[in-house]
Amino acid sequence: MGAADSRSGSVSYGLDEQDSVTVLQGVKLSGNVLQRMRESGSCPGKPASPKPERDTPNPGASRPSAGETPGELRRRYEREQALVQEELTRIARRERETAMGDDMRERANTHPDLQKTHTLNTDFYQQTLHMYTQEAVKAEAAVKPGHVTPVCAELQSQVLSCYTLNKRHTLLCSQLARDYMHCIHSCKKNLLVNHG
């Protein structure tokens, strides 16, 4: 069986239950040969139509044909992967833009809320300050300051005058200081006895 014999001779084959050619005058044919025979239209009585394709995981990708070399398959695979990557990048960009738009809207909605909160706090502070001022005025009016006279005022002025004149010799004023302290203690005792 040489190449010349296969070209010049006529070919006959039979179909099995699955419309697959399996036997050609006692010779089993491979899937690639069957595909080429269908593509060339050399099947008598049967139009050259490819078998229905099964669903593929990527419906946009085309099925490899029998004649493609491994290099062509790889290049096609890389092109399809590049298209998928490009589409994923486009989707991610759209989602990012949508998220940024949502964030800007949220900030725009938050700004008036912050402004309202600031205004409410300022109003509350002003009301509280006004109420405090009114209560302070009432308290001052209710508490009348009494007339206070210093106790032992004469001795107090003598002690101060002595210390001013004798800055370097303060011991000269010690007797006046003792008299002043004795006067204060006496006033305290009288106050306790009279009010106590």
Kindly state whether residue 82 falls inside one of the protein's structural domains. yes
Q: What is the pLDDT of residue 196?
A: 61
Kindly state whether residue 157 falls inside one of the protein's structural domains. yes
CA 60 to chain centre: 36
Which structural domain, as residue segments, surrounds residue 177? 153-195
Q: What is the pLDDT of residue 161?
A: 94
The list of the chain residues with pLDDT below 50 reads 1-9, 42-61
Q: What is the pLDDT of residue 111?
A: 73
Helix axis angle for 174-195 and 153-165, nearest 10°, is: 160
Kindly state whether residue 162 falls inside one of the protein's structural domains. yes
Q: What is the pLDDT of residue 47?
A: 47
Q: How many other β-carbons are positioned within 10 Å of the β-carbon of residue 159?
A: 18
CA-to-CA separations, 115 to 26, 92, 102, 107, in angstroms, rounded:
92, 35, 20, 12
Would you say 152 and 187 are in contact if contact means Cβ atoms under 8 Å apart?
yes
Counting the structural domains of the chain, the total is 3
**Which DSSP string corresponds to 113-179?**
HHHHHHHHHHHHHHHHHHHHHHHHHHHHHHSPPPP---TTHHHHHHHHHHHHHTSS-GGGGHHHHHH
Q: Are residues 64 and 48 in the same domain?
A: no
Kindly state whether residue 125 falls inside one of the protein's structural domains. no
Q: What is the pLDDT of residue 26?
A: 55
Q: Are residues 45 and 76 in the same domain?
A: no
Would you say 175 and 182 are in contact if contact means Cβ atoms under 8 Å apart?
no
Kindly state whether residue 69 falls inside one of the protein's structural domains. yes
Q: Are residues 109 and 78 in the same domain?
A: yes
Kindly state whether residue 85 falls inside one of the protein's structural domains. yes
